[in-house]
Amino acid sequence: MNLEEIRQKKKQYGYTNLQMAEKSGLPLATVQKVLGGTTKAPRYQTIQALASVFPEETHYNTESVSAPNVVREPGAAYAAESRPKQRYPRQGSYTIDDYLALPDDQRVELIDGVIYDISAPTTPHQLIGGEIYALLREFLLRKKGSCVPFIAPVDVQLDKDNKTMVQPDVCVVCDRSKINRARIFGAPDFVVEVLSPSTKMKDILIKMKKYHSAGVREYWMVDPDAETDTKILYQPPTEELPDGDMKMEIYPFSTPVPVGIFNDECVIDFEGIRERYAFMFGD
């Protein structure tokens, strides 16, 4: 694959320079210079690293690929459409059987029959998710409540059908009958997604709607880069609003965020997390 083909693939997938840097392992400045044309004669190893972002196994090939095709997170492409283009002819028709047939070490999500690859989280991403889980667990143990907290990876068969299986970063389930040894069957009460450049648009545009329709009561989208938490309380359907409603609030990390499903008794202090691990946030 030459440089012009890489530029075309980047445009086709909707990747940003930052996503290209993260996926190739190259410094962002290098990606910007090479793809922007500032570097006239990039090294062969650099071209190889950029080309590796688009491995051949992601192309649909019914003869050589036994597992379902995986869609790499296309970032900005989700702003224009919620699913990939027709070169993935089976997208939209995959089932949980296809999902379970994938190798154990291949993390993906299945949403309405479309398979999305999950990249390894950054260290701040993983840290924030872990801290939220620990605080929720501590609160629930202290209160001796029936709700159970989970941290990724855990399978959630969100719609109780065979077309969707997600893996929220953190979730809480209060109806223990939904929990079995294999997965959570049905909607959690509380879900947290820690946003990253490669998953942000999916979490905002696709999952926000899916969680609402499935019956999730509260959804948080934590953005480590913007240092904000978007908190959504989903309202149940009424005669006036048959599809329900939602109340959205955006909190800066400097403001503690109360968990609505626990009557605001449990509070997550993002500023405390940030101060404790300031070296990871560039301070």
Domains of the chain: 1-54 (1.10.260.40), 123-281 (3.90.1570.10)
The reported pLDDT for the residue numbered 86 is 36
**Cα–Cα distance between 132 and 151 in angstroms, integer?**
9
The reported pLDDT for the residue numbered 282 is 66
Calculate mean pLDDT across residues 45-51.
Answer: 79
Calculate mean pLDDT across residues 172-176.
Answer: 97
Mark 248-261 as b/e (b = at least 16 C-beta within 10 Å): eeebebeeebebbb
The reported pLDDT for the residue numbered 63 is 34
Strand boundaries in the chain, DSSP class E: 108-111, 114-117, 148-151, 156-157, 170-173, 184-185, 190-194, 218-223, 228-235, 245-252, 257-258, 267-268
Q: Does residue 78 surpass a pLDDT of 70?
A: no
Calculate mean pLDDT across residues 225-251.
Answer: 86
Record the pTM.
0.69
The reported pLDDT for the residue numbered 127 is 94
The reported pLDDT for the residue numbered 228 is 95
**Cα–Cα distance between 205 and 102 in angstroms, integer?**
26
Of residues 10 and 269, more confidently modeled = 269
Confidence category of residue 283, pLDDT binned at 50, 70, 90:
low
Q: Contacts from 268-273 at CB under 8 Å and sequence distance 24+?
A: 268/132, 268/135, 268/229, 270/128, 270/222, 270/227, 270/229, 273/127, 273/128, 273/131
Quote the Cα angle for 10-15-17, to 5°.
90
Percent of the chain's residues with pLDDT above 90: 48
Of residues 82 and 174, more confidently modeled = 174
For 118-148, the pLDDT digits (tens) are 888 888 899 999 999 999 999 999 999 899 9
Both structure tokens of 85: 């283009």
